[in-house]
Amino acid sequence: QLVADQAVQLQPGPNIFSVPITSGEPGVRRYRAEINAPSDAQPRNNTAEALIQVAGPPRILIVEGTAGEGAPLRDALAAAQVTADLVEVAAMPAGLGELAVYESLVLVNVAASALPPGANDALPAYVRDLGRGLVMIGGTSSYGAGGYLGTPLAEVLPVALESTEQIEQPKVAIVFVLDTSRSMQNCHCNGPNRDTDTDRSYFETGRMKIDIAKDGVLQSIATLTPRDDVAVVTFDTAASVPFPLQTEVTQEKILQAIGGIPAHGLGTNIGSGLQGALDVLRTSDAAIKHAVIVTDGWGESIDPLQIAATMRAEGMTLSVVGDGPGASPALQELAEVGGGRYFPVNNPEEIPTIFVNATRRMLGSAIIEEPFTPAYAAQSPVLNGLEGGLPQLYGHNLTSPKTTATVALEGLNSAPLLAHWQYGLGRVAAWTSDTKGQWARDFIAWPGFPQFAAQLIGFVAPAAATGTIDTRVQTVDGALAITAQLPPEADQPGARVIATLLAADGTRQEFILERSGVGVYTASAPLPAQGGYLVNVASSTGGQPQAQGAASLVVPYSAEYGLSQRDPALLASLAAKTGGAQLNTPTEAFAHTRSGATRPTEISIPLLLLALILLPLDILLRRRTGRRTGRS
């Protein structure tokens, strides 16, 4: 966004210009100034950048996976005089600088696949390095059911996403529906000529989309029990069933049946594939019936929406994996009609993970739904004043506690209901039930809910440190120099001071600062790559946080483009040592100031050649002269 544009007069050497700007909302702002000088031979040094921290009151952000799900929590906080911003996940800020505006963030039933790009990597740094707070609220799209297993965010949570409890689950029937049209051999383009383009390149991995989809089926089998029904349906212009519905399924059996299936079909009749899945599921006696279809979504077919509606009416559900950027937007509607989830995929290598997560979610192994009363398990500031009993809940996500986590409340099968822990400089809390009418309808109507919500958010909010560290970051002789001035109460024996350099993409570097004076701690490090960085410095004693400070750093263009250092003495020395002279103007380089020099040149050969040329002329002239003399 352009904030200022003005003409300036440049002078030789450093130039300073003042441009008034409005800071806007609190947070980290990155400003870039650029000089547009068309005749400049070296434009690389025409820019300057700065990161500025705009201060403001503490803010809380609630991110909801579906519109309306975060409203009960927001309203409860408002009733407790706590203001929070509420956004849908599509509007969630993903960069570390944008997230740093908020002291706490709450994810309300948000699926991992719905998070904006970069958020899964930025959130761990948001908590661990910036000392912010994070709360995850449960639901059918949260925790394990939301596909967080194996993600960076799963490491941040105080609960493991695989429950240690063995809970009897109903029998399941799942049908994998694979598109085997020719487009599944490779990657479609996404331009206007996508259906006629003959230059369809393979992925860098050299693997076809159909083979990656087969891997998704194989990996999903590991999540099923031997008594579950499994079938595979393939389709192009028509459907076939290479692996009929059966139990006792192994990866070897599946691979033998589908491993050699090519993608040579001339059409993409999605309706035929869904009809095949519907017919197969009708033969199963399983309590849960689900189909997962993977397709790139191109081609004509019988009405798939009508078939999906029939499946839903008969107690079946349908999830859709849209393989590649060319997949039809109608696939999302297909999943909604089928009562399942839509997974848009731009990188087909994600398909196996999506298949596994979709299978886990369908199995219900990550969720348990039945009435229960929360059980107190440990003292927690979140529950202060709420020890008189809690309302009944009707379900929660199944997890297991991590080693150092505090489980304050337990749910069914003694699984964690409320757990929290310290993660780096920040705190994380996990509430495995929801905050809407599905599982927590009595809880959100309870008069104590506003107090509970306020204390939950207050617990994870950054604690008031004993002091603030005065942090300075600068470049010295091409290296990074970090100086931290600790407040007297934090400068204790055994104090540990660590600086964390955070890039915009969430990557980090840590440096241990050494004490170099009274309350002064320093460190030096190689200068990082060009770009903007946040530098967070934290001190602790005996593992307990004492003080914290922050600064920003912008690494500009390489030093050789600065062209600001002059050394006349060095130039004079070079001229003297080489027998040259110092020049004051460019024209002096072409001036002839030295006397000329002579040297002998051999000219005998040219003279001989001249004599040979003149000899015939001499003879001719002599003959003519002799004739004239005889006549007289």
- Tokens representing 273 are 């594939």
Neighbouring C-beta atoms of residue 203, cutoff 10 Å: 14
Q: Is 422 contained in some domain?
A: yes
221, 350: one domain: yes
Residue ranges making up the domain that contains 42: 27-55+465-559
pLDDT over 50 (residue 586):
yes
Which pLDDT belongs to residue 11? Answer: 77
Q: Residue 31: which CATH number? A: 2.60.40.10
pLDDT over 50 (residue 185):
yes
Q: Is 17 contained in some domain?
A: no
Q: CA-to-CA distance for 75 and 65, rounded, in angstroms?
A: 17
439, 297: one domain: no
pLDDT over 60 (residue 395):
yes
pLDDT over 70 (residue 328):
no
Q: Is 247 contained in some domain?
A: yes
277, 424: one domain: no
- Give the residue from 559, 580, 604 where a domain finishes: 559
- Give the residue from 334, 364, 394 where a domain finishes: 364
Q: CA-to-CA distance for 612 and 488, rounded, in angstroms?
A: 105
Q: Answer yes or no: are the C-beta atoms of 127 and 152 closer than 8 Å.
A: no
Model confidence band, residue 383 (pLDDT cutoffs 50, 70, 90): very high
Q: How far apart are the first and last CA of the chain?
A: 109
151, 268: one domain: no
Q: By C-alpha distance, which of 340, 410, 428 is closest to 145?
A: 340
Q: For residues 332-358, give the mean pLDDT.
A: 72
Element (H, E) at 94: none
Model confidence band, residue 392 (pLDDT cutoffs 50, 70, 90): very high
pLDDT over 90 (residue 578):
no
**Quick one: residue 336, left, alpha or beta (phi over 0 = left, psi -120 to 50 = alpha)?**
alpha
pLDDT over 70 (residue 163):
no
pTM over 0.75, yes/no? no
Model confidence band, residue 464 (pLDDT cutoffs 50, 70, 90): low
Choose between 143 and 586: higher pLDDT. Answer: 143
Q: Is 19 contained in some domain?
A: no
pLDDT over 90 (residue 537):
no
Q: CA-to-CA distance for 58 and 76, rounded, in angstroms?
A: 18
Q: CA-to-CA distance for 529 and 480, rounded, in angstroms?
A: 11
pLDDT over 50 (residue 190):
no
221, 336: one domain: yes
Model confidence band, residue 326 (pLDDT cutoffs 50, 70, 90): low
Q: CA-to-CA distance for 454 and 477, rounded, in angstroms?
A: 49
Q: Residue 87: which CATH number? A: 3.40.50.880
Q: CA-to-CA distance for 263 and 252, rounded, in angstroms?
A: 21
pLDDT over 80 (residue 181):
yes
474, 348: one domain: no
132, 248: one domain: no
